[in-house]
């Protein structure tokens, strides 16, 4: 505390930083292991990496690094628009889709406003709401850790500016059915923005609603997508939003001119052009899910059925299990910060990585009584 830090706005000063998955290099150094021996299944990254075509595009773009990127990201926005059958005016790009969420908060959240989201939804909604001095209304989930859309709609009050709907939801992996989303859209007040965060849409193992179409038909619906998950570009930071031209124009206002860098723009264009890679990623997701579900059943551990590239596993304790797995060189995400203190979240990896996870987990279980992990 100093004279200077005392002047920090209370809403900012009170923030607790987002806790990301722990990096391989760091964990390896702590354990005295070779980084190649550490498996990271903690950040819902793509087990396949990025497509070779994308890596070639990145290498080509490297020679242009001394140039500023196209500030309006026109070619990328045109390519995204073409891919979805919408107009480039209906597309905004961000430094990750997290930045799109931040533009939403810039435009719509603030003191005297509220936002609505599930109690176990993506942590960034709560963080942004607090950062911009708005009031977060956290709605309990239904049985099975599924969004309760009726309760979320009922929670909308006269101050509500934004409803965040994450589908499939991170960290639970659960989905809401297309007709339920359609009902929510029909019922939500016109002056409330519905943000449908579809970070896992391309990997989804259940039918997705036609949200992009709804977003272009409705002035108060925004769909967010990202290149971080299905396309394997998490390290490049590029995502996008689709909505009405009027909404997108408003969201452009708080955007810095060069928010998506030159390499990321080229990589994202090449990524959209390589849809077979996405098919492969989805296929890997499906087999990994089956492997993990079967393995967990054998261990007698409960899990939350997931439609995305990760799942919650009920180990009875969160941090404890995560830190013991980490000691075995397997990084997963503890879920206590999401108020799910019984669960860890594991991202689907390559077959050998999933096997490492299951083996390390089995080693933690007491023999013959595989229900809950006992504290060390
Ligand atoms: C990963 C993720 C994002 C966005 O990630 P970016 O890397 O910022 O594009 C957004 N929403 C959810 C729910 C996510 O899991």
- What is the 3-class SS of 282-349, one letter each residue? HHHHHHHHHHHHHHHHHHCCEECCCCCCEEEEECCCCHHHHHHHHHCCEECEECHHHCCCCEEEEECC
Here the tokens at position 148 are 């309760």
Query: Is the per-residue pLDDT at 110 higher than 50?
Result: yes
User: Can you tell me the distance from the alpha carbon of 198 to that of 15, in angstroms, rounded to the nearest whole number?
Assistant: 25
Q: 């290498």: which residue's tokens? A: 59
Q: What 3-state class would DSSP assign to 54?
A: helix
Ligand 1 in reach of 122 Cβ (< 6 A): yes
User: Going by DSSP bridges, is the β-strand pair 160-166/114-118 parallel, antiparallel, or unpaired?
Assistant: parallel
Region 221-245 average pLDDT: 98
Q: What percent of the chain has pLDDT over 90?
A: 94
Question: 224 - beta bridge partners?
Answer: 197, 241
Average of pLDDT values for 195-203?
A: 98
Ligand 1 touching residue 209 (CB < 6 A) = no
What confidence tier does 18 reach under pLDDT thresholds 50, 70, 90? confident
> How far is 100 from 87, CA to CA, in rounded Å?
18
Flag whether pLDDT at 2 surpasses 90: no
d(CA 74, CA 141) in angstroms, rounded, equals 40
Ligand 1 pocket test: pick from 95, 98, 121, 222 the residue with the most ligand atoms within 8 Å of its Cβ: 98
Confidence grade of residue 129 (pLDDT, cut at 50, 70, 90):
very high
DSSP, collapsed to helix, strand or coil, labels residue 81 as helix
pLDDT at 329 over 50: yes
pTM as predicted: 0.95
**pLDDT tens digits, residue range 249-286?**
999 999 999 999 999 999 999 999 999 999 999 999 99
**Where do the DSSP E strands lie in 15-125?**
39-40, 91-94, 114-118
Taking the C-alpha atoms of residue 164 and residue 169, their distance in angstroms, rounded to an integer, is: 11
Q: Is 98 in the pocket of ligand 1 (CB under 6 A)?
A: yes
Q: Are 176 and 141 in contact (CB under 8 A)?
A: no
The pLDDT, as a whole number, for residue 230 is: 98
Judge whether residue 370 has pLDDT over 80: no
Structure-token pair, residue 82: 């073409």
CB of 210 closer than 8 Å to CB of 185: no
What are the backbone dihedrals phi and psi of residue 364, each rounded to the nearest 5 degrees, phi first? -85, -20
C-alpha separations of 112 from 119, 191, 211, 372 in Å? 21, 15, 29, 44
Residues 335-363 have a mean pLDDT of 97
Closest CA to 270 of 52, 9, 70, 123: 52
Judged against a pLDDT cut of 50, whether residue 334 lies above it is answered with yes
- Of 84, 83, 134, the C-alpha closest to 106 is 134
pLDDT attached to residue 369:
52
Compute, in angstroms, the gap from residue 273 CA to the centroid of ligand 1: 21
Q: 62: which residues sit within 8 A by CB, 6+ positions away?
A: 263
Q: Is the CB of 198 under 6 A from ligand 1?
A: no
Q: Is 195 exposed, middle or buried (0-12, 13-18, 19+ CB in 10 A)?
A: buried
């Amino acid at each position: 505390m100093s004279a200077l830090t005392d002047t920090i706005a209370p809403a900012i000063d009170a923030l607790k930083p987002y806790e990301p998955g722990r990096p391989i290099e760091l964990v390896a150094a702590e354990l005295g292991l070779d980084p190649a021996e550490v498996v990271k299944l903690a950040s819902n990254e793509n087990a396949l990496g990025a497509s070779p075509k994308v890596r070639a595009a990145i290498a080509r773009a490297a020679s242009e690094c001394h140039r500023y990127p196209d500030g309006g990201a026109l070619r990328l926005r045109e390519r995204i628009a073409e891919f979805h059958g919408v107009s480039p005016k209906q597309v905004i790009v961000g430094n990750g889709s997290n930045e799109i969420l931040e533009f939403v908060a810039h435009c719509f959240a603030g003191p005297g406003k509220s936002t609505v989201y599930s109690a176990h939804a993506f942590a960034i909604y709560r963080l942004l709401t607090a950062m911009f001095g708005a009031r977060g209304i956290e709605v309990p989930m239904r049985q099975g850790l599924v969004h309760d859309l009726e309760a979320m709609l009922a929670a909308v009050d006269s101050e509500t500016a934004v409803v965040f709907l994450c589908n499939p939801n991170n960290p639970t992996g659960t989905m809401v059915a297309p007709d339920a989303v359609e009902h929510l859209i029909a019922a939500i007040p016109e002056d409330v923005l519905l943000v449908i965060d579809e970070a896992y849409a391309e990997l989804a193992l259940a039918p997705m609603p036609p949200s992009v179409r709804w977003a272009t038909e409705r002035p108060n619906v925004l769909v967010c997508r990202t290149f971080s998950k299905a396309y394997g570009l998490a390290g490049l930071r590029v995502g996008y939003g689709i909505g009405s031209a009027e909404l997108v124009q408003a969201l452009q206002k708080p955007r810095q001119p060069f928010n998506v860098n030159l390499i990321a723009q080229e990589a994202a264009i090449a990524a959209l052009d390589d849809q077979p890679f996405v098919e492969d990623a989805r296929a890997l997701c499906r087999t990994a899910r089956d492997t993990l579900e079967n393995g967990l059943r054998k261990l007698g551990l409960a899990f939350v059925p997931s439609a995305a590239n990760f799942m919650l596993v009920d180990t009875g304790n969160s941090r404890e299990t995560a830190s013991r797995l980490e000691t075995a060189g397997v990084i997963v995400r503890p879920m206590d910060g999401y108020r799910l203190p019984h669960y860890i979240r594991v991202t689907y990896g390559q077959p050998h990585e999933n096997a490492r996870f299951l083996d390390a987990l089995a080693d933690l279980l007491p023999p013959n009584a595989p229900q809950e992990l006992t504290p060390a």
